[in-house]
Amino acid sequence: MVKFNVDNYKKLLKTDRLGKDIIYLRAVDSTNSYASRILKNKTRGNKIQDGTLILAETQEKGRGRQERRWLSPPGGLWFTLITKTTLERKKLPEVTLIAAYSAAVVLNRIYGIEVIIKWPNDLYYKKTKLGGILTEVEEINKDIFLIIGIGINVNISIDDLSPYNNESTSIRAILDRDVERENLLSEILLEFEKNYNYYCRTEDFKSIFKKIEELLDYGVDNSTTK
């Protein structure tokens, strides 16, 4: 497995805020769980920067909605964004769809992979699962933080996904080659920042949803990630 190159990622990153501060881990139980712990840890020396990224090579207990298991072998993108928000709680579930849409747009633009969003939080290629999003909330000293977990099967062989009985796929399997994870991550963060900032500034989800709906499948919930 080719290790994620943090220095290369930082050179490629074009966001204003998201992902600038990165915590890189070789292995973790779950990047979302790790994010929650460091937010709650009052003994931590430095405050968590808004937009901090937690990235792990593997997750031992990757999880999804309703605590479903998410397989996280080496070669994938398993990451979580921490961002402070002023959005009302009732609007927070919409961020999951914005994150899913952002990832889908990038996968299509860079690799020509026509991804659909399986309601409410999964990324699918044809009839196989490619990734998913899990958004959680932490309230710390009356501040509201979003914990946005995204998992994408990138440079993973079909054999490594075999526990899912051919119900999952990877970018490697689709393209028959590995791709640069650093570039993919930097592009997803840039697209998400643009869409998320627009929503926070205007609270105009209707306009965003018109675009999301073009990729949305309201089929059976087979929830994923983080």
pLDDT in tens, 67-118: 566 678 899 999 999 999 999 888 989 999 999 999 999 999 999 999 999 9
| pLDDT of residue 222 exceeding 60 | no
Q: Which CATH superfamily is domain 6-217 in?
A: Bira Bifunctional Protein; Domain 2 (3.30.930.10)
Give residue limits of the domains in the chain: 6-217
H helices of 25-114, in order, are 31-40, 93-111
Backbone angles phi, psi at 8, to 5 degrees: -65, -40
Banded pLDDT at 64 (limits 50, 70, 90): low
Instruction: Give the pLDDT score at 69.
Output: 65
Closest listed residue to residue 178, CA positions, set 2, 5, 26:
2
The DSSP 8-state label assigned to residue 58 in this structure reads: E
Instruction: Provide the pLDDT for residue 45.
Output: 43
DSSP conformation class of 177: S
